[in-house]
Amino acid sequence: MGTRNIKPTMDMSILDIETNIILEIISSKTRRKILSILSEEPMYFNQLAKKIDIGQQSILRHMVILEKSGLIETYEERSNLGGPNRKYYKVKSSFNINVSLSKDSFSLVNKEIEEIGYKDTLTFYKDFESKTKDDANNALIYLREIFLDIEDQINDLEERTNHLRAMKQRVLSKLQAVCEGIKLDSLERNIIYGIIKRSPKNFEELVHIMDIDGRDVNTAVTSIYQKLEGSRRKNFLRKYACLQT
């Protein structure tokens, strides 16, 4: 039921560790259901237990995990029935995890949901505050219109993103074919991928990206340099070829 402790490795950033923990936490169907319910409205424990429809002890263990992870938090409100204060649960974190997997690449991006362009957005919806201030009926209609408009914009962006990912896959497939045509070995191909994907500024950065002995990188870059023809090798390996023998 609990999650294991994830210890960082040399190539894992803090963000990677947090992403791994989040993915492990939401791997549980019950925890995903809890988060879905709490994203709509805060609830006290008994309310949540009725919605989830599993044993209270089991739910409590899930709640402890979610609270320790920082995905939810609690607050208290006075009971209308004169009893003790009720402990409510609500969602605390806002983030978006995007997973992309194709035959040529894998990426996992975890970004916090921030209102970076909040004022710009309100300018776009310039009547937002005035139309949602007093008249509840008009506010509901206007909020529905804005919500649907935002959903349409998100769908358009996601569709464009999907097309771009498809194009990225085609580029990576062509890159693989080019490397095979030049007859690069495994290390040489990885160096080419590192140069194209990460654009290191110099040989030292390339060595850091590859995370192997600089002499091996130097030997591989020299081999690539010799396999490329004419001005192509000078242009492509200009930043790294100065150390070649």
State residue 75 phi and psi, 5-degree precision: -150, 165
Tokens 């996601």 belong to 158
Which of helix, strand or coil describes residue 85? coil
- Mark whether 72 and 36 lie in a shared domain: yes
Among 120, 142, 170, the domain boundary falls at: 170
pLDDT value of residue 5: 54
Establish if 2 belongs to a structural domain.
Answer: no
Establish if 195 belongs to a structural domain.
Answer: yes
Establish if 1 belongs to a structural domain.
Answer: no
- Mark whether 87 and 103 lie in a shared domain: no
Write out pLDDT tens, residues 9-67: 445 454 565 888 888 988 999 999 999 999 999 999 989 998 988 888 999 999 999 99
pLDDT at 245 over 60: no
pLDDT bin (cut points 50, 70, 90) of residue 204 is very high
* Burial bucket for residue 191 (CB in 10 Å: 0-12, 13-18, 19+): buried
Residue 52: CB atoms within 10 A of its CB come to 16
Write out pLDDT tens, residues 124-161: 777 777 778 878 888 888 889 888 998 999 999 999 99
Nearest one of 52, 54, 37, 53 to 89, comparing CA atoms: 37
pTM of the shown model: 0.66
User: What residues make up the domain containing 109?
Assistant: 96-170
DSSP for 127-153 reads THHHHTTS-HHHHHHHHHHHHHHHHHH
Write out pLDDT tens, residues 99-128: 888 877 788 888 887 766 666 777 777 777
8-state DSSP, 6: -
Instruction: Give pairs for 107-112: CB < 8 Å, separation 24+.
Output: 108/19, 110/15, 110/18, 110/19, 110/22
